[in-house]
């Protein structure tokens, strides 16, 4: 089994370069041959540690990264396989993981995945049986099984994080979920795409403060007018291209395609050397669709300008003063960095009272009510817990759970939570919001990377429930509770049963105690 990427990125003295390849909707043909050619040229060049291959990007069908990766793998190039949770349930995902292990491809980028796109006959059914945290935990479990069976080489699992968030709640949600991914067993980190150097530095600073020592690769992209347009308009979840950068790219390409490409290479090269200078362990280059030559041009340019990396910092500063930063690096004339802890941006006073009223009405007061109810009826440490368990046993023994559910549980939970009757309730993990109703991806371990300005990737007119969770918890002085513990996957065998009985009878995901 090739272990080039694992070995390279595990050495802190290396600056690792990987390339992202995006398969198309064909099994043979020019585009597929081109990707194979890029991988062969990358292997011959010798400066690339691995190619990563996307898994149905945008939720749309494409050639499997497993089969394309295996072909590339056989040519000698190490491969990172993107593994999303969107298209398979837990049985299918474990089967796929075993297949990848058998094929020798054990570098995995574990992702929740974009929402489902269109396939034959229309939009595909989104599965999202797991999220990326649970997937990472599953792969670690498989590693233990491999070890017991005599295979010492387990999955080398990476995770993604999106530091390019504009609100405090989104930033906090991303970093809290990153903590869970690391606890679940992630071994390396790859960022989403953005062009704000202060946000890139924010991630490094946050990791240093928390003592996180995993290697981090920063995503770059060879931006064309088309790719810049779709990212600027929010059509690539998690990727950020500002209005000013988009307009600059359009102007460059309007001069000539040659000028546009040269500018794209130069921009990627400058950002790459900055990222190397501020402490990233490598770069992950996307937007390479036609030839390896552009990658070689970026690497060649980097070699000539990396000693002047601080000269380019101002080119990658955000011009949006409303963006939130946990930390911001200010570069003075002597080019030393002063760390400043930033405060949340204040809303205009004309909007503040209205927003405060709505927040109290729809978030703070419901949260306080639901929390009190939960402490009273669903606390296994309370003095009433034995009584509730005894009552639950009587109801269950007499097969009256359906009656409890019909007359009491469903009316209450549907009114206050739009309950979907999963039977394995997780509202307490998301500040008393239902993940089955409120989140299209049903995430129980933190926000996905697709939100934009606080709003859901899928339901763009609704706030992300993790953003709302942060607001509820912060107002109550409990922000440390956000994504504090790993939450096991939903137990489908409990679907449409009474979650109240399941809780007190230790049937649900909390059977080992409060989580």
Question: Which of 66-70, 74-78, 207-211, 365-369 comes out lowest in average pLDDT?
Answer: 365-369
| The pLDDT of residue 455 is above 50 | yes
Confidence label for 125 from pLDDT (cuts 50, 70 and 90): very high
| The pLDDT of residue 92 is above 80 | yes
- What integer pLDDT is reported at residue 331 of this predicted model? 37
Considering only CA atoms, give the Rg of the chain.
Answer: 24
Q: Could you report how far apart the first and last alpha carbons of the chain are, in Å?
A: 39
| The pLDDT of residue 106 is above 90 | yes
* Rounded Cα gap, residues 50 and 156, in angstroms: 13
Mean pLDDT of 121-130: 96
- Token pair recorded at residue 390: 């005894």
Residue in the structure block whose two tokens are 């064309």: 224
Mean pLDDT of 426-431: 96
| The pLDDT of residue 198 is above 50 | yes
- What integer pLDDT is reported at residue 330 of this predicted model? 41
Mean pLDDT of 246-261: 96
- Token pair recorded at residue 304: 């000539």
Mean pLDDT of 210-224: 97
- Token pair recorded at residue 423: 């039977």
| The pLDDT of residue 355 is above 70 | no
CB-CB contact of 150 with 103 (8 Å): no
Phi, psi of 440 (to 5 degrees): -60, -25
- What integer pLDDT is reported at residue 316 of this predicted model? 97
| The pLDDT of residue 229 is above 90 | yes
- What integer pLDDT is reported at residue 358 of this predicted model? 62
Say which residue, 358 or 175, is predicted with more confidence. 175
> Nearest 5 degrees, angle CA 123-CA 127-CA 133?
135
Render 103-151 in DSSP notation, one character per residue: HT--EEEEE--PPP-EETTEEPPP--SS-HHHHHHHHHHHHHHHHHTT-
- What integer pLDDT is reported at residue 349 of this predicted model? 53
- What integer pLDDT is reported at residue 345 of this predicted model? 45
Question: Which of 124-133, 293-302, 347-356, 436-445 comes out lowest in average pLDDT?
Answer: 347-356
Distance of alpha carbon 10 from the chain centroid: 22
Confidence label for 54 from pLDDT (cuts 50, 70 and 90): very high
- What integer pLDDT is reported at residue 511 of this predicted model? 81
Q: What is the mean pLDDT of the chain?
A: 92
| The pLDDT of residue 512 is above 70 | no
215: which residues sit within 8 A by CB, 6+ positions away?
9, 10, 12, 16, 188, 189, 281, 282
Q: What's the whole-model pTM score?
A: 0.93
Express each pLDDT in 381-413 by its tens digit: 999 999 999 999 999 999 999 999 999 999 999
For the chain, percent of residues with pLDDT exceeding 70: 92
Confidence label for 513 from pLDDT (cuts 50, 70 and 90): low
Q: 83: helix, coil or strand?
A: strand
| The pLDDT of residue 462 is above 60 | yes
Confidence label for 12 from pLDDT (cuts 50, 70 and 90): very high
Express each pLDDT in 57-77 by its tens digit: 999 999 999 999 999 999 999
How many residues make up the chain in this entry? 515
Strand partners, 108: 81, 157
Q: How many CA atoms lie within 13 A of 205 on its CB side?
A: 17
Where are the domains positioned within the chain?
4-223+272-295, 349-504
Topology of domain 4-223+272-295, per CATH? Answer: TIM Barrel (3.20.20)
Confidence label for 515 from pLDDT (cuts 50, 70 and 90): low
Residue from 153, 134, 159, 154 nearest 143 by CA: 154
Mean pLDDT of 259-278: 97
- What integer pLDDT is reported at residue 351 of this predicted model? 62
Mean pLDDT of 162-170: 95
| The pLDDT of residue 336 is above 60 | no
Mean pLDDT of 121-143: 97
Phi, psi of 397 (to 5 degrees): -65, -35
């Amino acid at each position: 089994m090739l272990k080039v990427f694992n070995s390279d990125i595990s050495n802190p003295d290396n600056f690792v370069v990987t390339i992202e390849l995006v398969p198309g909707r064909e099994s043979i043909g020019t585009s597929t041959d081109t990707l194979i050619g890029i991988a062969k040229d990358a292997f011959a060049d010798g400066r690339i540690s691995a190619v990563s291959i996307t898994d149905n990007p945008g939720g749309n069908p494409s050639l499997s990264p497993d089969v394309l990766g295996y072909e590339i793998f056989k040519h000698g190039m190490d491969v990172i396989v993107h593994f999303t949770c969107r298209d398979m349930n837990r049985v299918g995902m474990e089967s796929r993981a075993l297949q990848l292990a058998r094929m020798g491809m054990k570098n995995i980028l574990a992702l929740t995945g974009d929402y489902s796109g269109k396939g034959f006959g229309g939009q595909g059914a989104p599965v999202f049986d797991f999220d990326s945290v649970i997937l990472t935990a599953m792969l670690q479990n498989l590693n233990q099984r491999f070890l017991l069976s005599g295979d010492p080489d387990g999955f080398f699992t990476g995770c993604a994080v999106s530091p390019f968030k504009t609100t405090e709640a989104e930033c906090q949600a991303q970093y809290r979920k990153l903590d869970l991914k690391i606890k679940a067993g992630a071994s390396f980190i790859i960022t989403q795409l953005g062009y704000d150097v202060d946000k890139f530095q924010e991630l490094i600073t946050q990791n240093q403060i928390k003592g996180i020592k995993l290697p981090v690769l920063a995503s770059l992209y060879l931006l064309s007018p088309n790719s810049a347009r779709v990212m600027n308009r929010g059509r690539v979840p998690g990727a950020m291209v500002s209005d000013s950068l988009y307009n600059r790219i359009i102007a460059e390409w309007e001069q000539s395609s040659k000028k546009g490409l040269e500018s794209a290479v130069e921009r990627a090269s400058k950002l790459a050397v900055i990222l190397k200078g501020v402490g990233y362990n490598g770069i992950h280059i996307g937007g390479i669709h036609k030839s390896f030559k552009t990658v070689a041009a970026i690497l060649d340019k980097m070699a000539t300008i990396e000693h002047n990396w601080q000269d380019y910092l101002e080119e990658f500063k955000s011009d949006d003063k409303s963006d939130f930063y946990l930390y911001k690096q200010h570069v003075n004339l002597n080019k030393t960095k002063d760390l400043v802890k930033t405060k949340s941006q204040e809303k205009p006073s004309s909007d503040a009272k209205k927003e405060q009223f709505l927040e109290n009405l729809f978030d703070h007061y419901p949260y306080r009510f639901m929390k009190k109810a939960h402490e009273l009826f669903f606390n296994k440490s309370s003095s009433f817990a034995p009584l509730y368990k005894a009552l639950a046993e009587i109801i269950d023994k007499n097969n009256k759970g359906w009656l409890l559910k019909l007359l009491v549980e469903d009316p209450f939970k549907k009114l206050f939570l739009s309950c979907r009757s999963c039977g394995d309730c997780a509202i307490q993990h998301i500040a008393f919001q239902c993940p089955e109703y409120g989140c299209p991806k049903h995430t129980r371990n933190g926000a996905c990377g697709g939100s934009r300005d606080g709003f859901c990737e899928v339901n763009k007119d609704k706030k992300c429930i993790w953003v709302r969770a942060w607001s509820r918890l912060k107002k109550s002085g409990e922000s440390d509770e956000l994504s504090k513990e790993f939450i096991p996957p939903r137990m489908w065998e409990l679907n449409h049963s009474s979650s109240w009985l399941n809780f007190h009878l230790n049937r649900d995901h909390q059977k080992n105690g409060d989580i």
